[in-house]
Structure 1
Amino acid sequence: MKKILIIDDHADNVFLLKDRLEKEGFEILTAYDGESGISKAKEDLPDLILLDIMMPGLSGYEVCKTLQSDPNTKTIPIILVTALTEAENLKEGLQAGAFDYIRKPYNKVELIARINSALRFKETNQLLLEIEKIKTFAATVVTANHEIKQPLTLINLSTAALRRELNKDEISKEAILKRIQFIEDAAKDIIAVLEKLGSIKKPVFTDYVNDLRMIDIKSNNEQS
């Protein structure tokens, strides 16, 4: 069941919206001022917010800006429900981060249509974010495999050489120390690659092979 938070200082407006939307199968949360609306949004993380613009204390514009600036609430679509009809008022609301607006008095069919449109937008946006996470994870695996393969090969060759040396009747300390140095250098290279991958905040991708992508470690570390 989708959760919708209604923020409006007029109890009768809240009651009417709540009654209509509950009949449509939505779970309704309510708040009667901007500050409590912000707290409720951060606490319950609703799927959608219906927000009045003209409220005492924090206006709908301020509430919208606050929620859009918070990483935990910025993906929640906000629909302004307002009696204001001036284009500048609506423009200010959209610039504050609102997804859409509905003018009072609203039509029930239009109200539900706009709500469903906003919910579909959120679902699509979440799907795209998940796809991007999967692509980033895949690119990280490809990059790690590409960057670490050579030092791992060197470690394997060096350990094999150490075994051969230890099986000899006369063991060369110099040969053993040389192979140990190879292993230590390879381990440092692997650690450096992992540290670079771990420090990336906004990955820059580059084409690899067979439609695979990898993370451009050099470009990413030049940015950070």
Structure 2
Amino acid sequence: MAKILIIEDDTRLELTYNIIFEQSGHTVIRAHDGEEGLQKAEAEEPNLILLDLNMPKMGGLEFLRRYDVINKHPFVKVVVFSNMQTEESIREAYSLGAYKYEVKATFSPKQVGALVEQAL
């Protein structure tokens, strides 16, 4: 099974995703902002990162810039899962190496599980 890093500042959502992924047999690591997420991503080397964009300390786009998926972590799939849906943020996320960009408000917890399984 895979190692999944959830970077999400909404504790309720983070816990929901954690339960879904653990029930599917995955190892889950959690971070509450981009800064903590960057530290855990470097230390834990996850297979997939579920990334929110609007977070305290460091947002998701800055995380993508610093983590450098394209050059340093090409085998890590980053699924941006956020309610921020501007054309600019979507374009920038993909240019920084995001595997997928989805609007979180349109997904049920079950659909999030399916989305992650599909990405893995």
- Quickly name the TM-score band, shorter chain normalised: 0.7 to 0.9
SS at match of 1:81: strand
SS at match of 2:80: strand
Aligned match of 2:111: 110
The structure where helix makes up a greater share of residues is: 1
Deviation, structure 1 residue 59: 1.1
Q: Using structure 2 for the length normalisation, give the TM-score.
A: 0.86
Alpha-carbon RMSD across the aligned residues, in angstroms, is 1.7
SS at match of 1:79: strand
Distance 1:75 1:44 in 2: 14
Q: Tell me, yes or no, if structure 1 residue 38 matches structure 2 residue 38.
A: yes
Aligned match of 2:3: 3
The structure where strand makes up a greater share of residues is: 2
Deviation, structure 1 residue 107: 2.8
Distance 1:111 1:57 in 2: 25
SS at match of 2:114: helix
Q: Which has the larger radius of gyration?
A: 1
Aligned positions, number: 118
Q: Using structure 1 for the length normalisation, give the TM-score.
A: 0.49
Aligned match of 2:78: 78
The structure with higher relative contact order (CA 8 Å, sep 6+) is: 2
Aligned match of 1:61: 61
Structure 1 unmatched ranges of 5 or more? 120-224
Distance 2:74 2:39 in 1: 14
Distance 2:26 2:109 in 1: 14
The within-5 A match list for 1:105-184 is: 105=105, 106-119=107-120
Aligned match of 1:168: none
Distance 2:23 2:87 in 1: 32
Structure 2 unmatched ranges of 5 or more? none
SS at match of 1:40: helix
SS at match of 2:14: helix
Q: How much identity, in percent, do the aligned residues show?
A: 30
Deviation, structure 1 residue 75: 2.3
Distance 2:14 2:95 in 1: 25
1:29-74 per-position Cα deviation (integer Å, ceiling 9, x unaligned) = 0011111111101111011000000012211011112112562x34
